[in-house]
Chains A and B, each alone.
Chain A
Amino acid sequence: MAIRTRMSGNEATAYAIRQINPDVMPAFPITPSTEIPQYVSNMVANGEVDTEFIPVESEHSSMSAAIGASAAGARTLTATSSAGLAFMWEVVYVAASSRLPIVMAVVNRGLTGPLNINAEHSDSMGARDSGWIQIYGENNQEAYDNMLQAFRIAEHESVHLPVMICQDGFITSHAVENISLLEDEPVKQFVGEYEPEHYMLKDQEPMAVGPYAVSNYCMEAKKAQAEAMIRAKDAILQVAKEFEAISGRSYGLFEEYQMEDALYAIVAIGSVCGTAKDAIDRLRAGGMKVGLIKVRVFRPFPGEELAEALRKVKAIAIMDRCESYSAQGGPLGAELTAAMYRAGLDAKTVNIVYGLSGRDVRVEDIEQVYADLREMAEEGKTFAQYPYLGLRER
């Protein structure tokens, strides 16, 4: 029986962690993810989990402790945001290259500066080339569901990579909304016991983790890591299928909303997609054929699959909640247009930067984006290739 209740995205994440009952959780608090270690500490104190909670002195230490624990053979998890993730930087790469199945709840917040605490994807997007799998959620339900699937993906025999489960700071982390939770037992069955094949505390198999690799071998190690990232696509889909069997909720690499006959589409990530769905329903009521692709998995990037889903669309707005200072747009824009080019697509595109530092996006803003796409496709109107949505004029 599903448990119908209401809670915030952070609480939902902590609820999932309780059900997963990981072995070790090192963490250092940072807004807006602070509540996650706070809830878990309470659970530890109340004896609701067997987790060893390690209060560390910094995020560099939390990721280092996570690497040590995971290498030793423990199912390990942490949580962070923004500058916390930035402070982990060096060791974030070590976790991935050591092929450690660590899970990290990332409550997305912009990197400083100007100093701000609100939602933006610059923290996790900055780590997009670190070798971690990245899965993004639209709301508290998806934050919960994605967290439950995370260890199955990370520990999958063909993957062995760390996973970030991302949600939008405050917008979903601090919003209390309806949610459907699973009971403890089916979650326990689904997540399963962690039985690593190789780990440092295995006395029959002495090993080193993270040693120096000479140039003769280093490139092969990186290639093996890259291959694992490619294989992760199938693993993510397989785990999603099994999750659907226990939850009734289906997940893919991305979600298509009203894409079947869509002429104009938005491709975006995270909570803005809910707002876009409301805009689509309004515009469709007036006969405008509009659709949305919500990217759930950004790493591995489902380039071919996205291009296929966009094949019949005339104009596309690719929306980045992140400025990459590349002088030509954001990360989703860069990667998706590259994938479209390889697939031979020539739909018109515009790469929109929106929602930086929590700048609010309204249904009306999204309606305007679709109106612009229509003008671009039908009337040949040209727009700046890299506009900002909702920028103040003064």
Chain B
Amino acid sequence: MAALTEIRWHGRGGQGAKTAALLLADVAFNTGKHVQGFPEYGPERMGAPITAYDRISDNEIRVHSNIYEPDYVAVVDDTLLHSVDVTKGLKPEGGILINTEKPKEEILPLLKGYSGKVYVLNARKVCMETMGNYFPNTPMLAAMVKISKVMEEETFLKEMEASLAHKFEKKPEVLAGNMAALKQALTEVQ
């Protein structure tokens, strides 16, 4: 595990990219790390492209700037590949994770020759099979933990269960579906 891992999230307003970034900071904190999770707001509205960031570090984090050379990038909506330069600054030793229903071969030409690892996840399929509702950030979060290895999968699931139980205190019925989505995403990301 690297001393500092930097992650950039691309999504559209309303899809929960910011929530995913904050949740990742949350669970990473529980493993003893220093964390920073923050959104970058443009004109805030449903459907507009938004960016969010995570720094996960063994040391105190003092810097307060955006992340320009991330280790990993998550794209929560594949329509962004046409309008946002998602691989900009992305380290070739790192990787990019894309939520898409398309096969990987159709996605690769849209990545401007990025030479690092490319992962895809059909988050819609995972969501519909587990939660019956499309909240792509939940499976994307699990897939990001898997590819970035910022923590052990077991630890991640344990921490998420506690965190979701707290978050959905008043809606306990959704906990099982969320946990199933996380587990399924861990196995289905390719």
A contacts, CB < 8 Å to B: 5-6, 117-118, 139, 168, 170-172, 174-178, 271-272, 274-275, 277-278, 360-363
Contact = CB atoms under 8 A, between A and B. Distances in A.
Nearest to A4: B29
Which among B26, B41, B63 has the highest number of chain A CB atoms within 10 Å?
Answer: B63
A168 B65 CA distance: 12
B183 interface: no
Interface string B40-72: 110010000000000000001111111010000
B145 to A, nearest CB: 17
B35 interface: yes
A146 B162 CA distance: 31
B36 interface: yes
Contact of A176 (B22, B40, B44, B64): B22
Which among A117, A178, A362 has the highest number of chain B CB atoms within 10 Å?
Answer: A178
Contact of B64 (A6, A117, A118, A271): A271
30 contacts: A6-B25, A6-B35, A117-B44, A118-B41, A139-B62, A168-B64, A170-B38, A172-B64, A174-B39, A175-B38, A175-B64, A176-B37, A177-B34, A177-B35, A177-B61, A178-B60, A272-B64, A274-B63, A274-B64, A275-B63, A275-B65, A277-B62, A278-B62, A278-B63, A360-B66, A361-B65, A362-B65, A362-B66, A362-B68, A363-B65
Contacts of A168: 64
A117 B61 CA distance: 25
Nearest to B60: A178
Nearest to B65: A362
B57 to A, nearest CB: 10
Nearest to B68: A362
Contacts of B36: 175-177
Nearest to B43: A117
B65 A139 contact: no
Contacts of A139: 62, 64
A178 B37 contact: no
Contacts of B63: 274-275, 278, 363
Interface in B12-41: 22, 25-26, 29, 34-41
A363 B34 CA distance: 19
Interface in B88-141: none
A174 B29 contact: no
